[in-house]
Amino acid sequence: MALWHLGDNFTSDIVVLLNQHPTKQLLLIRRKHEPFKGCWALPGGFVNSKTPQGMAFVFAETHLEAAVRELYEETAIVANPADFRLIGTYDAFGRDPRAEGNQRVVTQTFLYVVTHMPEVLAGDDAAEACWFDLNAVLSGEVALAFDHADMVRDAKALLS
């Protein structure tokens, strides 16, 4: 299954952490669609584009705008973009199985730390949204889709 655009396709993912002592909680969504249908993942999705399918990508929103929008669409959390912190850019070929040929998915991942556990409501591409113990995810007890485990580890390193 090919992606929408020739060459690079862009996404934003969000590591949402409840940072309370003694335990830290991580918000995950269960994917409603392939790839990785039924698997746990970070909230996130494609950056909106101004171009029709099959043409080169032209941005219609920034990665940060996409992160705020996707977080709301998939979890009903309303977030202030000023509270997001860039974790990194993930751009390895093959990180998303939908890419074919010269396509690749480039994502910017953001950290959003909350001090109280907001109520979440799964929507859009999320079949379910739940909080998990961060250590269970870091240990691999809770498996994640794509390369999201790397993103969670990198977010944890930012907090250390």
Instruction: Give the whole-angstrom CA distance, residue 12 versus residue 20.
Output: 25
Task: Residue count of the chain, please give it.
Answer: 160
Burial class (CB in 10 A: 0-12, 13-18, 19+), 96: buried
For the question of residue 128 being annotated catalytic, the response is: yes
Of 150, 128, 152, the C-alpha closest to 39 is: 128
Burial class (CB in 10 A: 0-12, 13-18, 19+), 76: middle
Instruction: Give the whole-angstrom CA distance, residue 87 versus residue 109.
Output: 5
List the catalytic residue out of 34, 100, 128, 141. 128
In single-letter form, the type of residue at position 1 comes to M
Give catalytic residue positions: 128
